[in-house]
Structure 1
Amino acid sequence: MIFDMDGTLFETDTLLVGVHERIFQTLRDEKLYLEPTPPVEKLLGCLGMLLHDIWNQVMPDSTLAARERADELMLQYELEGLEAGEGSLYPHVAQTLRELHDRGIKLFVASNGLEHYVKGVAEHKGITSLFDGLYSAGEYETATKIDLVRRLLTDHDIESAWMIGDRSSDVEAGKENGLQVVGCAYAVYGRKEELAGADALISDFRELLELGGVEQT
């Protein structure tokens, strides 16, 4: 099973609301962005995109220097927040991942986030040991999630898997690599139509235990 991170395993707004305000306060203090702080909903709506695309959406009128500084600040403030115990996994994620792992199912993450952020979430939430690999666009410098998932499949010689995520990029990454796709309908960051094309939808993370091939005994 290959999982997206934000909006799938990690309830990102529990960390990002505070981070968002700090980023734009710092940009103002450093005279890099003097416009009003964009609504945090705009940032949350971009989760799943590459960082470059996120800032183009959130502050399209900004300079390259402002966007590059926002990249640095986002990672810094996210890691500081995680260190301080901020941010939560979605309900039942840790227990369900543990049960899937105990059944011998190989678990992976494929995220468009930065390497230290993706690994930081897994580490601080105590789930790193459950995964056979934590793949991020930041580490592998992939242009799309399709490419990232293809790299993961090749590295681990995987022929059959589920792709589990909440955004259209997850559906595309699964389908383009010949995988079954589970859409996480409990996530609030994307639009419902983004999950069109998924083979199954779940509204509770525990439903993964009942999918074909991993029926609960």
Structure 2
Amino acid sequence: MNKMKAIIFDMDGTLFQTATILEPALEATFDELRKNNVWDGSTPIELYRSIMGVPLPIVWQHLLPNHSASSRHKADTIFQKKLIELIANGNGALYPHVLDIFRYLEEKDRSIFIASNGLVDYLRAIVQFYKLDQWILETFSIQQIDSLDKGELVKLIKESYSITDAIVVGDRLSDFSAAKENGFPSIGCDFDFAHKEELSQADIIIQDLREIKKFV
């Protein structure tokens, strides 16, 4: 029996240009918070960019450090709704050559998975709008892991599909650590939200998704 060969992609900052919808969604969210007297001041865009890629519960702990868990949950609900609306309206964008590399991987009999810190509905909105499900075998969200640990999420994919040969492609330390914990090599995407010190932990660094072809 042939063993499955896989490529496990992160979503935000790797396949999807989150920056295209991040600022308007965050502005809209904090507008709501200001209207409801929950927030006073400017929208912490730069702070969010600096922590982009971590699970959303941690994001809101940083963005609303002095607020209750209930307030953070309400803010997150508004934010998710705004993100999905923007995606559905075509305001987002994939990185260049996503479809090209997906077609190439299909030709090479590589199964494609998503392992993302994004939530289920958000990831579904991206996959559906860009019709990525014709290539992606399954999308996994950090919501499926109680610990919010990316390594455990990749392990779930590995064990669910009995994968022994895979490459993890992402842009943040959590992606590279998850690859290492599961015995897989990693490719770091030097894109919008990547940090040089984190990229140094990847086995390979690329500036263009087409470069993946060299390693598959």
- Fold similarity call, TM over 0.5: yes
CA-based RMSD: 1.3
CA displacement, residues 72-96 of structure 1 (integer Å, 9 cap, x when unaligned): 1111111111111111011111221
Which residue is 1:192 aligned to? Answer: 196
TM-score, normalised to structure 2, is: 0.92
Which residue is 1:22 aligned to? Answer: 28
* SS in structure 1 of the partner of residue 122 of structure 2: helix
* SS in structure 1 of the partner of residue 52 of structure 2: coil
C-alpha distance in structure 2 between counterparts of 1:128 and 1:66, whole Å: 34
Correspondent of 1:80 among 85, 109, 121: 85
**Pairs within 5 Å for 1:34-113:** 34-113=39-118
Correspondent of 1:165 among 152, 155, 170: 170
Q: 2:18·2:92 contact (CA, 8 Å) conserved in 1?
A: yes
Which residue is 1:154 aligned to? Answer: 159
* SS in structure 2 of the partner of residue 2 of structure 1: strand
Q: 1:7·1:188 contact (CA, 8 Å) conserved in 2?
A: yes
Counterpart residue type for residue 68 of structure 2:
T
Percent identity over the alignment?
34
* SS in structure 2 of the partner of residue 11 of structure 1: coil
Which residue is 1:178 aligned to? Answer: 183
Counterpart residue type for residue 4 of structure 1:
D
- Show structure 2 runs of 5+ residues with no match: 1-6
* SS in structure 1 of the partner of residue 96 of structure 2: coil
Correspondent of 2:8 among 2, 7, 27: 2
Aligned residues between the structures: 210
The Cα shift of 1:46 comes to 1.9
Q: 2:26·2:43 contact (CA, 8 Å) conserved in 1?
A: no
C-alpha distance in structure 2 between counterparts of 1:140 and 1:120, whole Å: 20
Correspondent of 1:136 among 133, 136, 141: 141
Q: 1:45·1:190 contact (CA, 8 Å) conserved in 2?
A: no
C-alpha distance in structure 2 between counterparts of 1:88 and 1:78, whole Å: 12
The Cα shift of 1:140 comes to 4.3
* SS in structure 1 of the partner of residue 111 of structure 2: coil
CA displacement, residues 114-159 of structure 1 (integer Å, 9 cap, x when unaligned): 0111121111122122111100012444420011000110000001
